[in-house]
Amino acid sequence: MSRTVFRLSLLALFAIAVTLAPALTPVKAASDETPTPPASGDKSTKGKKTGKKSSGLENPAFLKAYRAAYATVYDRGDYSGAIAQLTALGQDDRADVANLIGYSYRKLGDYKLSPIWYERALKADPAHVRTWQYYGLWQLEQGNRDQAQYHLGRIAALCGTECDEYKSLAAALDKPPGQGPVY
């Protein structure tokens, strides 16, 4: 019965969040392989000239380097190498980049630095679904189930309950504390 009450409470919380939230643009849960463009108020592009030396999405060199770092994280599991590649991009104030740095620190077991990077990613883009997921998993690893549940609610408000990020964090929350690996 408590599971039913929990699910109903979660559903009520979700309904309230959706009702009270300002018009949110749904965010498609996509691969971080191609970083999302910075928000219009992103400091990384303010006051900077664009052109050949730009390090934004229009720059093939940036995209190539980002994709290489992405592969270093997910294909090779070389988290230290990925951190070096990602910071060398000079774009660690982008949500995608900061999130991968935080994820890499988490996978290395540095639980003090990883949340700093997750916070940086969310500051750059409060609607970055993958960061909410990874930060929620970090919360679970720290034993903060209530905070992980909050992150799950944020994901639901951003992309619904059918996106991969929601399903991943929800599955991790369904496991008893200390059971099984967390992604």
* Domain annotation covers residue 46: no
Residue ending a domain, choose from 125, 141, 164: 125
Domain match, 84 and 131 both: no
- Is residue 156 within 8 A of residue 24, CB to CB? The reply is no
125 versus 40: which is more confidently predicted?
125
Return the axis-axis angle of helices 129-141 and 145-159, rounded to nearest 10°: 170
Domain match, 115 and 171 both: no
Distances (CA, A) of 170 to 64, 108, 161, 177, 181: 33, 23, 9, 13, 14
CA angle 25–30–32, rounded 5-degree value: 115
Domain match, 119 and 59 both: yes
Could you tell me the residue range of the domain that residue 159 belongs to?
127-183
Domain match, 70 and 100 both: yes
- In this prediction, residues 147-154 reach a mean pLDDT of 97
* Domain annotation covers residue 32: no
Q: What is the pLDDT of residues 66-91, one digit of tens each?
A: 999 999 999 999 999 999 999 999 99
Quick one: pLDDT at residue 94?
A: 94
- Alpha-carbon torsion, ordered 163, 165, 168, 169, to 10 deg: -120
What sign has the CA pseudo-torsion 140, 146, 150, 153?
positive
* Domain annotation covers residue 172: yes
Kindly report which listed range (58-62, 115-119, 127-131) carries the lowest average pLDDT score: 58-62
181 versus 158: which is more confidently predicted?
158
* Domain annotation covers residue 69: yes
Q: What is the pLDDT of residues 2-43, one digit of tens each?
A: 666 566 555 555 555 444 443 333 333 344 455 654 443 333
38 versus 108: which is more confidently predicted?
108
